[in-house]
Amino acid sequence: MADEDTNDKTLERMATQLKGIGDKVEGAIDGLSDTVRAEVDQHIQKTFGDVVGYKEEQEEIRKAHDKQISDLTERIQSMSAPTATEDAPDEFYGYGKDGLGGFVKEVLAAGRQSGRPSERLTKCQDGEIERRRLDTLNGVDGGWFVPEQWSNELLRIPDDQQYLKSLCRTLPAGSPANAEVRIRSLDQTGSLGMYGGVAVYPAVEAENVSAATTPKLRVISLKPEKIGAYYQLTEELRANAETMNGLMGPLFQGAIASYDDDKIQTGTGAGQYLGFSGCSAEISVSRSVASEVNYIDIVNMLARVVTRGNYVFLCQRVDMLPQLMTLTDGAGQLIWTSNARDGMPQPRLAGVPVFFNEISPALGSAGDLRLVDLSYYLIKPGMGVMMESDNTYGNFLSGIETIKLSYYSDGKPWLTDALTLRDGTNTVSPFISLAA
């Protein structure tokens, strides 16, 4: 501001000096002709006009500069001032320091006789209901909603192990999460073929176009159903939140993933997943020799798959591994190969990965070996995990307390039937099993 005052005084002094000079010049030219005098007057006015214009321009620049400083000051003050969102719960509702173990301890305390929920447990319940938009759902029963981050972690597929669920096509939960979702798919039954009745013809002649048909559609419905998992805690484990924090997560995570894997294969569809085992789209291939797996069985299974896909062989390890590792083709060459990918052995049979699991039947049973592409299996998750505890009289005497997790999910094959090829006779499917 001091520099601006100096500039103003300088301008005023220059204006005064110029005015004095103008007065002298005007007195000196009184005797000049009117034409010359007019030219001199015009020059003087222009000079004064330039000085005044310069001063006005500087004043505008100063005002703009002051406004920028004022706006910047307001922004800084607004950023540093407390906001209403600081009163909102954080993502863990105050459990971040204590971890999942601290949350479990308060759920247990609230589940005991005459137990009262803590302030942050109540705050967590209200916050999760609002976050998950559960006000739009019906039939939500007892339990405490686990904060979203831990809920997602408990339902996550473990990174260090293989699970069929990781190969399935998982749909978004959507909002509301437990709502039923209907998915359209092509009706590929009977003579409709792989493309659901769509016919493509050359349009050389107009009459050819009239032979085209419209696609036939079916609707597949997925409605997440409630699934429960429980675990018994000893008095010593309940007293150690840190141990619970490190133990319960992996235990529930593995148990839930294993259960889902079982139902992806064997589920009845009644209040649970509909498994691909025995579904209407599965194709059963006859076995060449009872209680054995031979090269011709592998060939016949590969012949019945949908051409484009990401297939794996499914089987259990104990009975099947000796059979598969010793299989030879017609030239006496082993068709089993072992290699390492990402540090984990990934065996292959006739070039297709082998996925060992504990759910597949024993050697000689129907489905002891399956060939599947699980991108044709749909999973629809529901709302996240709920937790509740039970400390009945019997549990109290034994020092054991039961904790239960509930979550919602549904799954079923995308296809309702095997696909008929153009020949009208042969069928293919993404779900192939070896018969007994």
Q: What is the pLDDT of residue 82?
A: 43
Query: What's the whole-number mean pLDDT along residues 94-100?
Result: 77
Q: What is the pLDDT of residue 107?
A: 86
Q: Are residues 129 and 179 in the same domain?
A: yes
Q: Are residues 103 and 242 in the same domain?
A: yes
Q: How confident is the model at residue 189 (pLDDT cuts 50, 70, 90)?
A: low
Q: Are residues 233 and 359 in the same domain?
A: no
Task: Please indicate, yes or no, if residue 90 is contained in any of the structural domains.
Answer: no
Number of domains in the chain: 3
Q: What is the pLDDT of residue 147?
A: 85
Q: Are residues 103 and 200 in the same domain?
A: yes
Does residue 203 register a pLDDT over 80?
A: no
Q: Are residues 299 and 337 in the same domain?
A: yes
Asked whether the beta carbons of 386 and 407 are under 8 A apart, the reply is yes
Query: What DSSP string runs through 102-160?
Result: HHHHHHHHHHSTT----HHHHHHHHHHHHHTTGGG-S---SSEEPPHHHHHHHHSPPTT
Q: What is the pLDDT of residue 377?
A: 96
Could you list the residue range(s) of the whole structural domain that residue 227 is in? 99-266
Q: Which residues contact 298 (CB under 8 A, 6 or more apart)?
A: 327, 335, 349, 350
Q: Are residues 257 and 333 in the same domain?
A: no
Taking the model in full, what pTM does it have?
Answer: 0.68
Q: What percent of the chain has pLDDT over 70?
A: 67
Task: Please indicate, yes or no, if residue 403 is contained in any of the structural domains.
Answer: no
Query: What's the whole-number mean pLDDT along residues 207-228?
Result: 72
Rounded distance, CA 430 to CA 380, Å? 20
Q: Are residues 27 and 123 in the same domain?
A: no
Q: Are residues 9 and 50 in the same domain?
A: yes
Q: Are residues 14 and 146 in the same domain?
A: no
Choosing from 266, 297, 317, the residue where a domain stops is: 266
Choosing from 35, 57, 72, the residue where a domain stops is: 72
Q: Which residues contact 334 (CB under 8 A, 6 or more apart)?
A: 325, 326, 327, 328
Q: Are residues 113 and 254 in the same domain?
A: yes
Does residue 434 register a pLDDT over 60?
A: yes
Q: Are residues 124 and 224 in the same domain?
A: yes
Cα 173 to the center of its chain, rounded Å: 8
Q: What is the pLDDT of residue 368?
A: 97
Q: What is the pLDDT of residue 7?
A: 61
For residue 418, which amino acid is it? A
Query: What's the whole-number mean pLDDT along residues 111-127?
Result: 79
Q: What is the pLDDT of residue 83?
A: 43
Task: Please indicate, yes or no, if residue 359 is contained in any of the structural domains.
Answer: yes
Q: Report H helices in 291-348.
A: 295-302, 317-325
Q: What is the pLDDT of residue 216?
A: 66
Asked whether the beta carbons of 342 and 160 are under 8 A apart, the reply is no
Query: pLDDT tens digits, residue range 352-406?
Result: 999 999 899 999 999 999 999 999 999 999 988 888 887 665 566 677 778 888 9
Task: Please indicate, yes or no, if residue 11 is contained in any of the structural domains.
Answer: yes
Query: pLDDT tens digits, residue range 267-280?
Result: 999 989 999 999 99
Query: pLDDT tens digits, residue range 36-81?
Result: 666 656 665 666 566 566 667 777 777 776 777 676 666 655 544 4
Query: What's the whole-number mean pLDDT along residues 22-27?
Result: 62
Task: Please indicate, yes or no, if residue 94 is contained in any of the structural domains.
Answer: no
Q: What is the pLDDT of residue 150?
A: 84
Task: Please indicate, yes or no, if residue 51 is contained in any of the structural domains.
Answer: yes
Per the prediction, the chain carries an average pLDDT of 78
Query: pLDDT tens digits, residue range 224-247?
Result: 999 988 888 777 777 776 677 677
Asked whether the beta carbons of 428 and 305 are under 8 A apart, the reply is yes
The dihedral built from the CA positions of residue 269, 275, 280 and 284, taken in this order, carries a sign that is negative
Choosing from 72, 91, 124, the residue where a domain stops is: 72
Q: Are residues 137 and 223 in the same domain?
A: yes
Task: Please indicate, yes or no, if residue 248 is contained in any of the structural domains.
Answer: yes
Task: Please indicate, yes or no, if residue 149 is contained in any of the structural domains.
Answer: yes
Q: What percent of the chain has pLDDT over 90?
A: 29
Query: pLDDT tens digits, residue range 125-184?
Result: 888 877 766 554 443 456 888 888 888 888 888 765 678 999 999 998 888 888 888 887
